[in-house]
Amino acid sequence: MPNDTNTAMNSFSSDARAAVSVELGKVVIYGVGLIGGSFALALKAARAAREVVGFGRRPEALAEACALGIIDRAGAHPAHELADADLVLAATPVGQMPAVFEQIAAHIGVHTVVMDGGSTKTDVVRAAYAAFGGKIGQFVPAHPIAGAENSGALAAKGDLFQRRKVVLTPLPENSAASLERVKRVWRLCGAQICELTPEQHDRVFAAVSHLPHLLAFALVRDLAERPDAPLFFEFAASGFRDFTRIAASHPEMWRDICLANRAALLEEISAYQRQLRDFARALQENDGALLEQGFTVARHARRAWGQKTEEAEIGTKASNQTGERKAS
């Protein structure tokens, strides 16, 4: 089957191509789908790892990742693979991470750094403390803010993290060296590093990521369960497509995310319901001014965010082009 991963692997900034000082030996990835597979491809494009080893639940998924050149081989057993690993990435759904941490904790070497790619943080950090114990300083929580509605090894892209944020939620026990290794590796992938506390992370992403996914799932489910569902989907156009794209995301992954961050997500659902009640009241009272006021606030905020995001992307592209010219 054709795949564009080789093309994607070539589209990197000069920092990634020239960074010969960040040389990892063995990198072990648990979960070689969209996030884990894209991370592997990015490291390969940057020539930053001598070997990438994959673990996963399904042998056929690991075989596919090998065939696509995402990993070099499937792992034999944690006891044989982790002691000499420089870096371990847990890129499974967050619901699986406690079991993954328990599986690897006893086998990591003294110089191994472990990080995750999960979309929630307080639950992952709690599971890490329980599993790693005195080795907790070797675990650096991370969340790459990049994704797609598709999943699996075929969805992996070597440039997925280019100009994307990666949020780190460092622990008090993390050494400066462990934290720096994680930062430099993500920069090799083209990412921009940000830091939050685990609690800040979960509160923010409940609002800007987890709630939007829940709303998209709810809207599409509502239409799909109507007796005349085909009629609605026949006339759905670009607005529906843009709003509901994320409803095609992986159900297991988003089940785990919503349950893991349910306290913050329930607060955001309540806040959203208040907005809906305000708009419902405006409709019931035929209050056009109230509707327009709410729409105007949202329009200005959305446009300001869009402009800021576009300017940041233009600035990053210009910086990368300048670096490429200097490198050449």
Q: What is the pLDDT of residues 271-321, one digit of tens each?
A: 999 999 999 999 999 999 999 999 999 999 999 999 988 877 666 555 554
Choose the final residue of a domain: 166, 196, 226: 196
Residue 304 domain-assigned (yes or no): no
Angle between helices 122-132 and 97-105 (to 10 degrees): 20
On whether both 124 and 237 belong to a single domain, the answer is no
What does the block give as tokens for 302? Answer: 């959305």
Q: How far apart are CA 22 and CA 8, in angstroms?
A: 21
On whether both 48 and 62 belong to a single domain, the answer is yes
Residue-number span of the structural domain to which 103 is assigned: 5-196
Q: Which of 217, 192, 229 is nearest to 13 (CA)?
A: 192
On whether both 96 and 243 belong to a single domain, the answer is no
Q: 26: domain CATH number?
A: 3.40.50.720
Q: Residue 178 pLDDT > 80, yes or no? A: yes
Number of domains, the chain: 2
**194 bridge partner residues:** 167
Residue 138 domain-assigned (yes or no): yes
For 135, phi then psi, to 5°, come to: -95, 10
On whether both 218 and 189 belong to a single domain, the answer is no
On whether both 21 and 170 belong to a single domain, the answer is yes
The stretch 105-133 carries a mean pLDDT of 97
**117 bridge partner residues:** none
Residue 47 domain-assigned (yes or no): yes
Q: 228: domain CATH number?
A: 1.10.3660.10
Choose the final residue of a domain: 196, 224, 239: 196
Residue 142 domain-assigned (yes or no): yes
Residue 320 domain-assigned (yes or no): no
Residue 294 domain-assigned (yes or no): no
On whether both 146 and 248 belong to a single domain, the answer is no
On whether both 54 and 155 belong to a single domain, the answer is yes
More confidently predicted of 308 and 135: 135
124 — pLDDT class (breaks 50, 70, 90): very high
What does the block give as tokens for 77? Answer: 């057993």
On whether both 184 and 225 belong to a single domain, the answer is no
Residue 177 domain-assigned (yes or no): yes
On whether both 107 and 242 belong to a single domain, the answer is no
Would you list the DSSP string of 50-86? EEEEEE-S-HHHHHHHHHTTS-SEE-S-HHHHSTTEE
On whether both 15 and 158 belong to a single domain, the answer is yes
Residue 282 domain-assigned (yes or no): yes
Range 279-312 burial, b when 16+ CB lie within 10 A, else e: eeebeeeeeeeebeeeeeeeeeeeeeeeeeeeee
What does the block give as tokens for 268? Answer: 């955001």
On whether both 135 and 229 belong to a single domain, the answer is no
The dihedral region occupied by 111, where left means phi > 0, alpha psi between -120 and 50, and beta the remainder, is alpha
On whether both 143 and 46 belong to a single domain, the answer is yes
pTM: 0.85
For 92, phi then psi, to 5°, come to: -90, 170
Which pLDDT value is given to residue 155?
85
Q: Residue 326 pLDDT > 80, yes or no? A: no
Which pLDDT value is given to residue 18?
44
